[in-house]
Structures are given as C-alpha cells and as structure tokens.
C-alpha cells in the first residue's frame, strides 16, 4: 500500500504542476500577458452573457477581494466589463468584451487540442481505464474538505 501512496502522491503533484506549466508556456506563446488565472476567470464568465462576480469567485474557490483584484487586471487588459445590476446595485455583473470573447475561444481551442493530443498517446484499452479513473479522482477532489487533512 505504501508504494501506491508514494506513487500516487508523486504523480498527483507532478501532473498538476506539469499541466499548469504547459498551459502557462502556451499562454506565453499566445501573448497578451495572460496568467492561467486570467484565462480561467474568462472561462468562468463564458460567452453567454453577464455573470455575478460572487458566483465566479465561488466557482474559482477564491474570496471576493481576490476576484475584485483579478477583475481589475482583466478590465485593464480590455477583456471584461463590470456593471452593477439594475435590480440590485450591490450585485456586480461581469461580461466579456470582444477581446475577452476571442481569448475565451482561443483558450477553448487550446484545451480541445490538448485533449486530442493526450488521447493520441493512449490505446483504446488504456483510455477505457483512464477515463473513469480520472472521473473518480475529479469527484473525490470536488467533494474533498480541506479539514480532512490535518497538518
């Protein structure tokens, strides 16, 4: 069991770090001075219209103050527009500008191509095992409570 634990820990950390580093290298090639966090916020806002800033902060797992700082940066970069709700002025709505929409589409294309390249690297049998294993891993982390790990 210990050998599995060490391997799983090693690969979880390595895969997470390698995916983030790969994505950042691709963003650097694209230009526009975007961080991974920037494009993931753009992804959360989406193409469908206005989203509440509080909903995006919750989906990203960050505090509203952090989301406000990130929104400031994205607004300066010309990717988003913020406005107050006409119904409730306390609510801040975020939507993508044309530049933000282009960035969203380029990021989606990046993920589609990345998934295609990953799929090419595996046999059908490996994919039949990998896909449900990744789904289970994803569900575990979606439900995981940080308090379950004592430091």
Q: Three-state SS for 106?
A: helix
Cβ pair 43, 107 in contact under 8 A = yes
pTM, two decimals, is 0.80
Cβ pair 49, 95 in contact under 8 A = yes
CA dihedral 98→56→77→49, nearest 10 degrees, is: 20
Residue pLDDT tens, the chain, 151 long:
677 888 888 988 999 899 888 888 888 887 768 889 999 999 999 999 899 999 999 999 899 999 999 999 999 999 999 999 999 999 999 999 999 999 999 899 989 999 999 999 999 999 999 999 999 998 998 888 888 876 6
DSSP symbol at 147: G
Fold of the domain spanning 34-143: Arc Repressor Mutant, subunit A (1.10.10)
**Domains in the chain: boundaries:** 34-143
Residue labelled with tokens 């989906």: 59
């Amino acid at each position: 069991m210990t050998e599995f634990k060490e391997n799983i820990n090693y690969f979880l950390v390595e895969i997470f770090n390698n995916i983030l580093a790969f994505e950042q290298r691709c963003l650097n090639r694209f230009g526009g001075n975007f961080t991974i966090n920037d494009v993931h916020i753009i992804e959360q806002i989406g193409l469908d219209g206005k989203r509440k800033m509080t909903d995006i902060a919750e989906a990203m797992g960050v505090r509203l103050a952090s989301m406000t700082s990130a929104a400031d940066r994205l607004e300066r970069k010309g990717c988003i527009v913020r406005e107050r709700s006409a119904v409730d002025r306390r609510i801040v709505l975020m939507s993508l500008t044309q530049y933000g929409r282009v960035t969203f589409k380029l990021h989606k294309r990046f993920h589609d191509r990345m998934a295609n390249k990953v799929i090419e690297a595996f046999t059908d049998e490996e994919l039949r095992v990998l896909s449900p294993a990744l789904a289970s891993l994803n569900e575990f982390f979606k439900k995981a409570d940080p308090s379950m790990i004592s430091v």
